[in-house]
Each structure stands twice: as C-alpha cells, then as structure tokens.
C-alpha cells in the first residue's frame, strides 16, 4: 500500500469520526434539549434532517467514488458512536430516579 493510500484511509477514518461526532453528539444534544421543549417532535424531526443531511453529504464527499474510503469513513463513524455513548453514560452518573435505572426495553 502506498503512502498516499494510507493517508487517504486515515483522513477518511478521521472524517468519519468527525461525522459520527456531529451525528451522535447532535442526537445526544437534541434529546437533552427536547426534554424541556414545548415541541419535542419538532426538535427531533429538524435535528434528524440536519444530522442526516450532514452525514450523507460527508460520506459522499469523503468516499470520492472509492468504496475503501467509504468503508474507512464508516469505521470512524461507528467508533464515534461508541465514544459518544461512553461520554453520555459517564455524564449521566449524577442522575437520580428512573432515568438512570432504565437500561433497555423489557
């Protein structure tokens, strides 16, 4: 593998991480904001369109017609999801009540 290809994969992976941080960080922020919003559905709907548009456009431009770069971008995206999940869990340790106890659907 040439040095240029390695650099392209690393940049695609980093871009995927950035896209994932925007997408999942934006979801986390939306959930936190919608708790006290008068129209939470509007927050979720608007946020979804914005986050999805950014993510899809980012994937399209990062891939540049190469499936290998798209795959590297996707790996970075998924890794960012895991990082945001870990951050969200650690920030919720001070919560009290049922929101802390619910981990999954029955």
Sign of the C-alpha dihedral computed for residues 72, 75, 81 and 84 taken in this order: negative
d(CA 74, CA 69): 9
**What pTM value is reported for the model?**
0.79
76's tokens: 């970075």
pLDDT tens digits, one per residue of 37-66: 899 999 999 999 999 999 999 999 999 999
What number is the average pLDDT over the span 9-35? Answer: 94
Cβ neighbours around 75 below 10 Å, total: 16
């Amino acid at each position: 593998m040439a040095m240029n290809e390695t650099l392209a994969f690393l940049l695609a992976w980093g871009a995927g991480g950035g896209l994932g941080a925007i997408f999942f960080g934006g979801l986390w922020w939306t959930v936190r904001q919608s708790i006290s919003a008068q129209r939470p559905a509007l927050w979720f709907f608007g946020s979804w369109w914005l986050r999805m548009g950014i993510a899809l456009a980012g994937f399209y431009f990062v891939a540049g017609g190469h499936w290998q770069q798209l795959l590297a971008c996707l790996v970075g995206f998924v890794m960012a999801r895991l990082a945001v999940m870990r951050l969200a869990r650690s920030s919720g340790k001070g919560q009290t009540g049922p929101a802390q106890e619910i981990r999954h659907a029955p």
